[in-house]
Chain A
Amino acid sequence: QKEVEQNSGPLSVPEGAIASLNCTYSDRGSQSFFWYRQYSGKSPELIMFIYSNGDKEDGRFTAQLNKASQYVSLLIRDSQPSDSATYLCAVKKNTGFQKLVFGTGTRLLVSP
């Protein structure tokens, strides 16, 4: 089992729709969770982080965390073609030095 799992996609949504990206993790002691956006040929860019169970909203983005189910998601409202990218889920493990473990990413395609 991978430590952080994501569906590779692509996830295709029409412009204006809600895109829902999901991530599961295996280490129950994980404390912090991050979403990065990576455009093709570019470096990852941090867009959201969440520590506590529940929802965290930032503009069109909402991160949702359910530690009991070991599940974190990212919702993108009013999706735009410029949101088309690969979204990486990352988890800060609770053991040892604070390193992030990344999922392989979900590719999102938003069609006009």
Chain B
Amino acid sequence: NAGVTQTPKFQVLKTGQSMTLQCAQDMNHNSMYWYRQDPGMGLRLIYYSASEGTTDKGEVPNGYNVSRLNKREFSLRLESAAPSQTSVYFCASRGILRTESYGYTFGSGTRLTVV
């Protein structure tokens, strides 16, 4: 099925460990995003990529890095996980066709717990 695929769906890390969250879309979208969602805080933008080869910081980039590997894939890396990074992470891509407006299509999310 077309859409945005995130892996893994669940992860538990120890403080200081590193990991990479993977995201891939097959809708030929140019723009991709990483958000985190915390209770009472809503969705907050971590990093985004306007197009292949470009990345930019969002609202809460500290502690994260990203790679836009190609047009399909946009990964998020935690170099040294901290308990404050316990959250649900969503990858999204943005359509450009008029019927899609500029709304996002979200992946199913990664639930990350840092202990």
**Residues of A in contact with B (beta carbons under 8 Å apart):** 8, 32, 34, 36, 42-46, 49, 88, 90, 92, 97-105
Contact = CB atoms under 8 A, between A and B. Distances in A.
B105 A99 contact: no
If over half of B's interface residues share one DSSP class (helix, strand or loop), that class is named, otherwise mixed; here it is strand
Interface residues of B, number: 24
Contacts, number: 52
A99 B50 CA distance: 10
A45 B109 CA distance: 12
Contacts of A88: 42-43
Contacts of B112: none
10 contacts: A36-B103, A42-B108, A43-B109, A45-B106, A46-B103, A49-B103, A98-B102, A99-B48, A102-B35, A104-B40
A42 B50 CA distance: 25
If over half of A's interface residues share one DSSP class (helix, strand or loop), that class is named, otherwise mixed; here it is strand
Nearest to A97: B50
Nearest to A105: B42
B106 A32 contact: no
Given A99-B33, A104-B42, 20 more contacts: A32-B102, A42-B109, A43-B90, A43-B106, A43-B107, A44-B43, A45-B106, A46-B105, A49-B102, A88-B42, A97-B50, A97-B56, A98-B102, A99-B48, A100-B104, A102-B42, A102-B43, A102-B44, A103-B42, A105-B42
Contacts of B41: 104
